[in-house]
Amino acid sequence: MIVTIKTKNLEQSEALNTFVEKKFETIQKFVDDDKMLTEVFVEIEKETKHHKKGDIFLVKAQVILLGKSLMAEANGDDLFVAVGKAKDELKNEIEKYKIKKIDKTRRQARKSRGKDEV
């Protein structure tokens, strides 16, 4: 799994890179197909330079799965909490996508089974 990190209005440090990579590496177990080379794009942004409190950090995460792009966004006053929220939201999006894909194949199987019985 490849994690690409981009920052805006914020310095990109080695500690930040390590933390983000560790957080988003756990997404790999939800994308367990061997055919999929997974790349996660993470954009970390400090929205304003003059505000000191409130939701000043914005984290956007995107993963592309077999032609489908899934996005997650999180705001927070703490950078590390916002990264965790974005990871959790992206995990939920992947789970919803996989459930839809499985249900679609099951519906098609039921339709074909119903035609055979007629």
**Per-residue pLDDT tens over the stretch 82-117:** 999 999 999 999 889 888 888 878 877 877 876 655
Convert the pLDDT of each residue in 70-90 to its tens digit: 999 999 989 999 999 999 999
Q: What is the pTM of this model?
A: 0.80
CA pair distance 24, 43, nearest whole angstrom: 12
Spell out the residues 6+ positions from residue 68 whose beta carbon is closer than 8 angstroms to its own: 97
User: Which domains are seen in the chain, by residue range?
Assistant: 2-117 (3.30.160.100)
